Amino acid sequence: MSRETRRFVWSLLISIGLIYTVLEPRHVPFMWTYLISPYLPFWLDKPLAVLAWFSLAWTAASGFELFLWRRLYGQSLSGVPRQRKLFTDLFNVMLYVAAAGIVAVEVFDQAPTGLFATSGIVVIILGFALQQLLGDIFAGVALNLERPFKAGDWITMDGTQGIVLMTNWRSTHLRTRTMDLMVVPNAVIGRAKLINHSQPQLRHLDSVEVPLQYGFDEAVLRQMLKDAALTVDGVLSDPAPIILLHEMRPVTMLWRIYFFTDNFAALVIMKGAILNAAYSALRSSDLAVYLPRNETILHLDAPGAAIQGS
């Protein structure tokens, strides 16, 4: 038996012990038998009743975490906050709110109708005061249920790329490619155009552009650019890179090297390395003369030619 399981069993025994040994029957009306201790003073009645109900709520929360949530969502990764924390925290809050309501009605003899009316007014006031915050919270709940991304996924949101660090009640934390922390309210994410680069698979397709002048052998160029791309770490050989003509311009042709990788984090470095490998391969071959360049032709006339022509 693990340490967490033993702790849960002990908390369950303590909760049952509180109910059966120290509480009066009016605090647990659904119980049929009671073992009330005659040695406890009367002033401990209500404090122990409150302790018993919240102990039951804590035990229930621990039991759901141990036997249900971990089986549904799995263990959290070391150093990566789990996204399911938002849903489980909301469930735990509901358990404690329910325990507080039972304590108010059963222990402190509050009327249920008055309790509901008071709580309704409080909810309305808090709703207006915390409208933006509640919007972020409910958006976070929706994100957790839909699960468009999880911690460790690379995403692009409105043109900004980053890796997901965590999702909490109010916001989602991203680490951008510049190694900065970006905190985005969940309501903003719910309205944004989102691309997940880690789902449904890690393999990602990207490309780089190579401009060349006209006149070369296309078969030789395709093989040369493909071989150059395969020399870069992270570029997959299966599927192999694809070399395609993208655009024909007045002076140059624009070629694209499409390549696959399963390491999106190193994509920027790989694209630079592919361009460097392609340039090195072209420069050291007969195709070097087709690399784009700017040429200026100067025509020198003999002295006095312009004057004589006029």
Decide: residue 80, CB within 10 A, 0-12 exposed, 13-18 middle, 19+ buried. Answer: middle
For residue 256, what pLDDT is reported? 96
For residue 116, what pLDDT is reported? 61
Q: Which helix (H) or strand (E) holds 256?
A: strand 252-261
Taking the C-alpha atoms of residue 247 and residue 282, their distance in angstroms, rounded to an integer, is 19
For residue 77, what pLDDT is reported? 42
**Regarding beta strands 181-185 and 194-196, do their DSSP bridges make them parallel or antiparallel, or are they unpaired?**
unpaired
Query: In sequence order, which residues have a C-beta less than 8 Å from that of residue 66 and are 6 or more positions away?
Result: 4, 5, 8
Instruction: Kindly report whether the global pTM for this prediction surpasses the value 0.75.
Output: no
For residue 32, what pLDDT is reported? 42
Query: In sequence order, which residues have a C-beta less than 8 Å from that of residue 13 and are 6 or more positions away?
Result: none
pLDDT of 236-273, one tens digit each? Answer: 999 999 999 999 988 889 999 999 999 999 999 999 99
For residue 57, what pLDDT is reported? 83
- Can you state the percent helix, strand and coil of the chain, rounding each to 5? 50, 15, 30
Query: In sequence order, which residues have a C-beta less than 8 Å from that of residue 295 and are 6 or more positions away?
Result: none
Taking the C-alpha atoms of residue 179 and residue 182, their distance in angstroms, rounded to an integer, is 9
Output the tens digit of pLDDT for each of the chain's 310 residues: 677 777 778 777 877 777 665 555 544 555 444 444 555 666 666 777 777 778 888 888 888 777 777 666 665 544 434 445 666 777 777 888 888 877 777 777 777 666 565 566 556 655 554 556 666 777 777 777 778 888 889 999 888 899 999 887 778 899 999 999 999 988 888 888 899 999 888 999 999 999 999 988 999 999 999 999 999 999 999 999 999 999 998 888 999 999 999 999 999 999 999 999 999 999 999 988 888 876 666 666 666 655 555 5
Q: Where are the extended beta strands (E) located within 103-213?
A: 154-157, 160-167, 171-176, 181-185, 194-196, 204-213
